[in-house]
Structures are given as C-alpha cells and as structure tokens.
C-alpha cells in the first residue's frame, strides 16, 4: 500500500493521499515556476512512467525506485521538461517579445476557430477541475492573439498578415495537439461519434502543423 497522508474530499470523506499524489503536487509547483500548467492527473502519469522506467532499467521494485525521486530529482525533472518546451519560452511575457512570425489572415482565422474549439473539447471531455486548469492558458492565448491583431502595424495590414512571437505559435500548436489527444481518447459509448471525433482530431493536428510551419519558415 502506498504511504501517504489523509485529507478530506469535497464531500467531507477522509481519503488517503499516496506518495504519488505528493510528488505530483511538487512537480506541478516546480513547473508553475516556468509558466507551465499541468493537471494533477497528468503529473501523476508522468511520475508513474518515470518510476516504472527506473524500476525496469534497474530491475528493482517500484517501491525501491521511488527512493530515487526526492525534491531535487523532481526539480531537475521540471527543468528538463521546461527545456523540452524551450521554443515556447515558458514564463515569458509574450506581449513584450519580438514578433517575427508573419501569420496570414486566413491562418489567423483558423487559429482563432481552432483554439475556441479546443476550449469546447476540454470542457466537454474532462472533469471540471482539469478542464478549468487546461482551458486557462488557451483563453490567455486567444486574448494575446486579439492584442496582436489590434496592435498590428499598417504595413502588415496591407499585406493581410499579423506578426506574432514564435513562442506564441508553438504554444498554440501544442494546445491544438493536446485537444487532438483528448478527442482521440474520449469515450464514445454508442460508437456513432468515433469517426467524427477522429476527423476533428486530424483537423487539430493539421492546424498545429500549419502553425509550426509558419514559425519555422
């Protein structure tokens, strides 16, 4: 049985929080320092996979493998995750960042529509707490995009484009890819929506690829 502490849930029932829950809380806190938001379930999944990988590699039990995951290890894990997303400039104020990526008006419209649909997908397919956590950054991205459009210069308007920071494009692409994953793994009880869901997931991935192409061109 996992060692841990007890707390009360929303219904006032005492529940046992295990080692993995505590480590997930720590990882979430460390990632927040880099401006990265991750749900508790996602943090648990990441840590569970890492513990299993250590156990498999060293041929030890998961309980023994947990001893390698202290506060310093969690801190380093968060740093590595942030470095993996370095192109998104975690924690950076994108309003003040250099806007070097020209995005055409049609692609801008597609981005607004896709990000809006991301919110709908998260709200419809995730538990309320997780949905609120994951929707926040997407709403922020839409707000940023509106400000980029509002402050575009006359030359860009004449070219029917708006310049945005590269990091914004990469963040938006990741949000779309995340929504594609949510749609792909959602449960469809009667099976009638499976094909439609996969079509939506494919569109999310296509739109994300178009955004990444714009940033790298």
Q: What is the dihedral of CA 118, 104, 85, 17, to 10 degrees?
A: -10
CA distance 153 to 162: 8
Pair 63, 110 in one domain:
no
Say which range, 1-15, 70-84, 180-194, has the weakest mean pLDDT.
Answer: 1-15
Which of 84, 111, 127 represents a domain boundary (last residue)? Answer: 84
Pair 108, 176 in one domain:
yes
Q: What is the mean pLDDT of residues 45-56?
A: 88
**89 within some domain:** no
Which of 59, 84, 109 represents a domain boundary (last residue)? Answer: 84
pTM of the predicted model as reported, rounded to 2 decimal places: 0.64
Pair 136, 181 in one domain:
yes
pLDDT of amino acid 40: 80
Pair 192, 144 in one domain:
yes
Q: Is residue 140 very low, low, confident or very high in pLDDT (cuts 50, 70, 90)? A: very high
Pair 187, 134 in one domain:
yes
Domain of 18 in residue numbering reads as 4-84
Pair 18, 38 in one domain:
yes
* DSSP codes joined into one string, the chain: ---EEEEE-TTS-EEEEEHHHHHHHHHHHHHHTTT----HHHHHHHHHHHHHHHHHHHT--HHHHGGG--HHHHHHHHHHHHHHTGGG-TT--GGGS---EEEEHHHHHHHHHHHHHHHHHHHHHS-HHHHHHHHHHHHHHHHHHHHHHHT--HHHHHTTEEEE-HHHHHHHHHHHHHHHHHHHHS--TTSTTHHHHHHHHHHHHHHHHHHHHHHH-
Say which range, 86-100, 127-141, 148-162, 175-189, has the weakest mean pLDDT.
Answer: 175-189
Count of domains observed in the chain: 2
Pair 132, 59 in one domain:
no
**133 within some domain:** yes
Above 70 in pLDDT, residue 114?
yes
Q: What is the mean pLDDT of residues 133-149?
A: 92
**80 within some domain:** yes
Pair 54, 134 in one domain:
no
Pair 113, 189 in one domain:
yes
pLDDT of amino acid 213: 92
CATH value at residue 105: 1.20.140
């Amino acid at each position: 049985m996992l060692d841990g502490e007890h707390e009360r849930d929303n219904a006032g029932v005492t529940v046992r929080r295990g080692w993995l829950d505590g480590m997930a809380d720590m990882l979430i806190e460390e990632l927040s320092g880099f401006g990265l938001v991750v749900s508790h379930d996602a943090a648990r999944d990441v840590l569970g996979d890492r513990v299993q990988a250590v156990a498999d590699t060293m041929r030890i039990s998961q309980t023994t493998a947990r001893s390698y995951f202290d506060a310093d290890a969690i801190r380093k894990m968060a740093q590595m995750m942030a470095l993996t997303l370095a192109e998104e400039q975690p924690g950076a104020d994108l309003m003040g960042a250099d806007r070097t990526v020209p995005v055409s008006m049609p692609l801008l419209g597609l981005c607004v529509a896709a990000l809006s649909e991301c919110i709908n997908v998260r709200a419809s397919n995730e538990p309320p707490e997780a949905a609120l956590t994951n929707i926040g950054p997407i709403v922020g991205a839409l707000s940023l995009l509106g400000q980029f459009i509002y402050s575009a210069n006359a030359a860009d308007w004449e070219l029917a484009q708006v310049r945005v920071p590269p990091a914004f494009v990469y963040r938006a692409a990741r949000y779309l890819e995340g929504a594609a994953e949510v749609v792909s793994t959602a449960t469809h009880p009667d099976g009638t929506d499976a094909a439609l869901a996969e079509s939506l997931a494919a569109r999310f991935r296509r739109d994300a690829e178009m955004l990444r192409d714009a940033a790298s061109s």
